[in-house]
Structure 1
Amino acid sequence: MRIGINTWAWVAPLTDDDLARLAPRIRAWGFDAVELPVQAPGDWDPVRAGELLAGLGLAPAICAGLLPEHDLLADDDEVVRRTTDFVRYCLRAATQVGAAVVAGPLYAPAGRRWPLDPDARRAATARLVERLRPLADEAAGRGVTIALEPLNRYETSLINTVDQALEVVDGVAGLGIALDTFHLNIEERDLPAAIRAAGDRLVHVQVCGNDRGVPGGDHLDWSAMLAALADLGYSGQLSIESFTAPALAVPMSVWRPLAADPDTLAVEGLAFLRASSAG
């Protein structure tokens, strides 16, 4: 597994100058990969980023969440068009930067929650499958996989668990799953079993402590989770995703320090994951 980190540990939104400053340090610490967030098209240049990361030997991945004006489940055709245009931008950026994965909750904006009885859930899932198919086809044509991420119940009411993600992913050829240990810890009764349930559809993994801070030293059973990934033969990225960038404090409800500083989060998280993976 390649160990990476999301630049949200330091900055939000990411810019070209930020990446030029951060990427050499990330590589010098010993990371194999970096996760690049897309908050709005044009924040950073994918071509420039691709050249920088290739020169450093850092493997990129892209993560994205839908903006408030986006919703792939909307009744409004214009909203759906805006949403698909945004996802297509992420796919183009992935091609240009050299990323194999675009990961995130690419179905509705985080925070959109609504009651779903069984019939409503089936209808929403069917609509999502229909609207994701052409995007997954386009991704496959680019050599990229869209990885759908379950979020916890406070951020969405649609896809909270691996089983719910599989209801969508199994209906869309080429679609994958991204798992985040923070959300797994809230929604899954057995985290290693949930990881194994994702099977060969698992293409991206984000990690952090149960408090969204440094991996390790928290209550998560890291040895069992890493063993589950090894059992799957998972060879994708293990990307530290935490939100120590000041601009993310309010949107991500970070009310206390998650680490001494972002550099400490990176260095200690990498050391823990490297030692745990080797063991």
Structure 2
Amino acid sequence: MTGTASSPSRTDERIVEALPIGVNTFVWHSPITDETLHTTLEKIASWGYEGVEIATENLADWDPDRARQTLDSLGLRGVVGGVFGPGRELTCAAPGVIEETQGYVRGAIDLAARVGAPLVIGPMYTSVGRTWRMSPDERRTAITTLRESYRPLVDHAASRSVRLAIEPLNRYETSLLTTAEQVMDAIDPLPREVIGVNLDSYHMNIEEGDLGAAFDVVGDRLLHMQVCGNDRGAPGDDHIDWPAVRSGLERVGYRGMLGFESFTADNASIATAASIWRSFAPSQDDLARRALENLQRWRRPWNLG
């Protein structure tokens, strides 16, 4: 990653440590299991990763107490990734489906609290890949229902000292929330101390007309940042305007994780869901190490002045 912004002033006392770099378990596994999670945590820590996004397809896939012990022993930070597969809907669905999905999100919040993670992240609104046309009135109704679905989840998250970070996806994966502006509109009436935004460079590259402006729209409600190349490969080996991403993060005073998210083509279900038709490196380990190498060169202390 070249062309980064100029170095901050050494006299600025608000410079903080470099942002921690994490990686999503989807790079290797779908779904994650208790054993593969611990093997993965040990591996990424040995390479120099400082955090992990635990993609949680099913609430019983991994033991949060054991995971917390491993994270603590390795000095890793963690966030829980909400996975919205078929049938998980918080709007535009039957009441029973919405209630069941709320139960899943509550469970993810409880996992986060037990593992010591501050966030549940992801596209928490409708199932990934579900798209349909909406009139302006239908969209307003969908967003109203979504807000009502969020309210008890926000209360539950607040009671567990966990925050929710809602991720906009690209137009091929959803027709509901595809931009920073749309997510901000959906969550605007809800408590800013509990619910915010999870941006992802892959989706931003498709949907945002101006990467920098998207950060300005979100501001301090940006709770999590996922980074990968425009092709889902390693960030920095692609055409995304990384200086604009960096400047945007600095401008809004972002203090969270940089989470590298990609997927494996070796798993049929996840390859189809994420449209991963080819490998981005000789192995998934090589891909994760390349992403880490690029991100370590790119980051430096952030100027929050």
**Is residue 185 of structure 2 the alignment partner of residue 167 of structure 1?**
yes
Match in the other structure for 2:16? none
Match in the other structure for 1:218? 238
Counterpart secondary structure, 2:152: helix
Picking from 10, 24, 27, the partner of 1:9 is 27
- TM-score (normalised: structure 1): 0.97
Match in the other structure for 1:231? 251
Q: After the TM superposition, which of the residue ranges 83-92 and 119-128 deviates more from structure 2?
A: 119-128
**Is residue 105 of structure 2 the alignment partner of residue 76 of structure 1?**
no
Match in the other structure for 1:120? 138
Q: 2: CA distance between counterparts of 1:245 and 1:163? A: 32
- TM-score (normalised: structure 2): 0.89
Q: 1: CA distance between counterparts of 2:126 and 2:239? A: 30
Match in the other structure for 1:108? 126
Counterpart secondary structure, 1:205: strand
Cα shift readout 1:54-82 (whole Å, capped 9, x = no counterpart): 11110000111223122111442211111
Match in the other structure for 2:196? 176
RMSD of Structure 2 on Structure 1 (CA): 1.2
Match in the other structure for 1:265? 287
Picking from 221, 224, 228, the partner of 1:201 is 221
Check whether the contact 2:26–2:55 (CA below 8 A) recurs between aligned residues.
Answer: yes
CA shift at 1:178, angstroms? Answer: 0.3
Q: 1: CA distance between counterparts of 2:96 and 2:168? A: 25
Picking from 43, 53, 58, the partner of 1:25 is 43
Q: Which structure's CA Rg is the greater one?
A: 2
Counterpart secondary structure, 2:274: coil
Higher RCO (Cα < 8 Å, 6 or more apart): 2
Percent identical pairs in the alignment equals 44
Counterpart secondary structure, 2:96: helix
CA shift at 1:196, angstroms? Answer: 2.4
Letter in 2 for 1:257: S
CA shift at 1:278, angstroms? Answer: 2.2
| Ranges in structure 2 where 5+ consecutive residues have no aligned partner | 1-18
Cα shift readout 1:81-105 (whole Å, capped 9, x = no counterpart): 1111000010000001111010111
CA shift at 1:236, angstroms? Answer: 0.5
CA shift at 1:268, angstroms? Answer: 1.3
Q: 2: CA distance between counterparts of 1:10 and 1:157? A: 28
Report the number of matched residues: 279
CA shift at 1:223, angstroms? Answer: 1.8
Check whether the contact 1:32–1:58 (CA below 8 A) recurs between aligned residues.
Answer: yes
CA shift at 1:172, angstroms? Answer: 1.2
Q: 1:60 to 1:245 in 2, by over 3 A?
A: farther
CA shift at 1:199, angstroms? Answer: 0.5
Q: After the TM superposition, which of the residue ranges 67-76 and 200-209 deviates more from structure 2?
A: 67-76
Letter in 2 for 1:191: L
Structure 1 runs (4+) deviating above 2 angstroms are: none
Cα shift readout 1:117-166 (whole Å, capped 9, x = no counterpart): 21111111111111101101111111111111101111111100000000
Cα shift readout 1:104-124 (whole Å, capped 9, x = no counterpart): 111110111111121111111
Q: 1:149 to 1:71 in 2, by over 3 A?
A: same
Q: 2: CA distance between counterparts of 1:196 and 1:143? A: 26
